[in-house]
Amino acid sequence: MRPIRRQIMTGTLKLFDLMLMVVSFGVATMPILAKVGPVSFEQFLEIRIKLQNFIVFFALLWLWHLIFVALRLYDSMRLASRKAECVDVIKATSLGSLLLLLSSFVIGFHMVTPGFVAVFWVFSTCAAVTIRLVLRTWLRRVRTHGGDSRNMLIIGSNRRAIEFAQMIESRPELGYRITGFVDDEWRGADELRQRGWTLVCNFQHLHEYLRRNVVDEVVLAVPLRSFHDLASDIAATCEQQGIILRVLSDLFNLKSKRLAAENFEESVCVTHFTSIEEGWPVVIKRALDFSISLVLLVAIAPILLLTAILIKLTSPGAVLFMQKRIGLNKRVFHIYKFRTMVVDAEQKLQEVEHLNEASGAVFKIKNDPRLTPIGKFLRKTSIDELPQLFNVLVGNMSLVGPRPLQLRDYELLTEAREDWQRCRFSVRPGITCLWQVSGRSSLSFNKWMELDLQYIRTWSLWLDFQILARTIPAVLRGSGAA
């Protein structure tokens, strides 16, 4: 798309999103007005609106715009999937609605109730998703029929380059037209021609070809280690001529595919993410952790007090049990739990270590002789875990994440072949996890670690919500608790 057309479309979309918030706010007030009853024109003119409310509303409007910009909803979505764009829109409207709700508590918007915010979120989300799907459908139809097309030149003619070209040609709605390949003559060039593509020039004549032909994007598909000088020269040429350069490269053949280009002052780095501690979803995750843990601690305060009294009455010793655990990036922190064992349980560990029923670097006994009279019940119902909400509140833990290992268990991970298990320390530990809702102590240690790795690789906010939803029935059943 030409720059001027792109600017007009982006500006229109930004204006639509701002108007959307205003209209959504109006729609959300309709149920309230319906309860009040019909208002005459004279009564409407007599309504007094405070200057403070105007300022707050425009501040929220500005924040709404910033959220959409931060989630890159005005960038080109040519290569993004429908699902990815819809998810980003839902994230934006959800975060905007959350800010609206928080502002109502802080400033005192009596009209902005949870029901008001729910209507606001539903309408704004549906409208924003719908307009973007309509726009995407129209653009894809235009591109399928040859409009808004971009000429793409692929550097290299190896297997990876051919597979990439096949993918591009199978997706005409993306609007790319492959003008050809650049490579020196070699035996693989025959396969290229058999598939109907051509070598437009060799590496030596690439500069001249770029000067004299219409090329919008160049895709670099040669091995960077073997063609480093050539790749650098091509990148410099593309920069000089204002041509977009894409590098088709899996540098290290790692399982995780999350890469991003980042600036460190004057240096540009390609960052390979192996954890989930980056981006807006993580900010939302932390905000939810803080909010939910705070609300839960207030709501279950009577249960916490009653449990503390019962522990104090049934066995000597402190109510809370504090223990060092391994947290994010192997940082040590103190975990809080209700005490379920006798006071000198740590000293008696060696006496019962031979009764360990778990495999791997973990210690579990179903009927631990060190349990207090009420301790077994607290563990069976997972009530002993509730004080960990304080860990979540201060940021040592999350509601959902791999369970934090004890120092003893961590030190047993000594063999190099067990290093893959250490990936679990790249994320914040949690109160519940996939292991917790999949059998807990009835699963082997290796299976536990595999589930943690699966969680890290497939993490999303939706996965966290699913695990939280599955945690309640798992706790009620007491499945695998020890």
pLDDT at 154 over 50: yes
Q: Residue 198's closest CA among 183, 216, 208?
A: 183
pLDDT recorded at residue 305: 95
More confident: 295 or 44: 295
- State mean pLDDT over 467-479: 78
Identify the top-confidence range among 25-34, 258-267, 428-437, 470-479.
428-437
pLDDT (average), residues 417-441: 77
**pLDDT of 363 strictly over 80:** no
For position 43, what pLDDT does the model report? 46
User: Tokens 């843990």, residue?
Assistant: 293
Name the least confident of 175-184, 278-287, 356-365, 405-414: 356-365
Span 168-174, average pLDDT: 83
- CA 331, chain centre distance (Å): 22
pTM: 0.55
| Model pLDDT for residues 285-331, shown as the tens digit of each residue | 888 899 999 999 999 999 999 999 999 998 888 999 999 998 887 88
Residue 353: what pLDDT? 65
- pLDDT 10s digits, 65-110: 888 888 878 877 676 778 888 888 998 899 888 888 887 776 666 6
* Residues 369, 37: Cα–Cα separation, whole Å: 68
From the candidate CATH numbers 1.10.1200.10, 3.20.20.370, 2.40.30.10, 3.40.50.720, the one assigned to the domain spanning 150-249: 3.40.50.720
Instruction: Determine the pLDDT at residue 338.
Output: 94
Contacts for 333 with CB less than 8 Å, ≥ 6 apart: 324, 325, 327, 391, 396, 397, 404
Q: What are the structural domain ranges in the chain?
A: 3-144, 150-249, 280-477
| Residue 160 pLDDT exceeds 70 | yes
Q: Mention every residue, 6+ apart, whose C-beta is less than 8 A from residue 260.
A: 270, 271, 273
Confidence label for 127 from pLDDT (cuts 50, 70 and 90): very high
CB atoms within 10 A of CB 191: 12
Minimum mean pLDDT among 24-33, 142-151, 415-424: which range?
Answer: 415-424
Q: What angle do CA 92, 97, 101 make, to 5 degrees?
A: 150
